[in-house]
Amino acid sequence: MHSLIALHSRIFGALETHVAPALLPTLARFLFVAALFLYYWNSGLTKVGEGLTGLFRLDLGAYFQILPRAVEAVGYDPSALGPLARAVVLAGTWAEFLLPILLLVGLFTRLAALGMTGFIMVQTWVDVMGHGVALGQWFDRHSDGLIDIRAFWVFPLIVLVLKGAGPLSLDAWLSRRQTPSAALTPVSQPR
């Protein structure tokens, strides 16, 4: 029995030490990109106007999706909402494009994953409070509630916040190229 426990410890200890540090963040990025990149990209496209300048000329749909009750209160006239509402909707729309791209290439991954986690939390709040989507609950027999689904969306992002992007990322490439600051400064030796 002791040899079986020792074998188990050696095998899974080696996996944890040598495989998991590279595999977990790489799989977390892959999972996010495979499951949600196009979801957010297409959602962002529904909010912008035509052409490259459309990133600055937001569609009414952008305001309705992000600030549904506020837009309804002003008779669906986004100009009546003011500059703060425009800034919020613009930032939310740009985040739908920028954060998934950063996660795809693995650049500023920890910050992008943290931002995307916050984005999903705000998105969930807007869906429930603004659009009337049922949140659902945990520990029930249903696995299709909004809270269940969004928990699975957030989990790989938490892995990325804690572990970084993994070896197949721009973060790792930039880290390998960076020269340690100690090597740039000559160290004086006592005589």
Q: Taking the domains of the chain in order of start, what are their residue ranges?
A: 25-165
82-110 pLDDT, tens digit per residue, is: 999 999 999 999 999 999 999 999 999 99
Nearest partner of 89 among 121, 51, 46, 128, judged by Cα: 46
CA atoms within 13 A on the CB side of 173: 7
Q: Report phi then psi at 116, rounded to 5.
A: -70, -35
pLDDT of residue 178: 87
pLDDT of residue 179: 63
pLDDT of residue 186: 55
pLDDT of residue 51: 84
**Contact present, 133 and 123 (Cβ < 8 Å):** no
114-143 pLDDT, tens digit per residue, is: 999 999 999 999 999 999 999 999 998 888
Q: Measured between alpha carbons, how far is 105 from 174 in angstroms, rounded to an integer?
A: 12
* Whether residue 165 has pLDDT greater than 60: yes
24-69 pLDDT, tens digit per residue, is: 999 999 999 999 999 999 999 999 988 888 888 898 889 999 999 9
Confidence class for position 188, pLDDT limits 50, 70, 90: low
DSSP H helices, the chain, are 2-14, 20-32, 38-45, 60-66, 68-73, 83-105, 109-125, 146-163, 170-177, 181-184
pLDDT of residue 9: 93
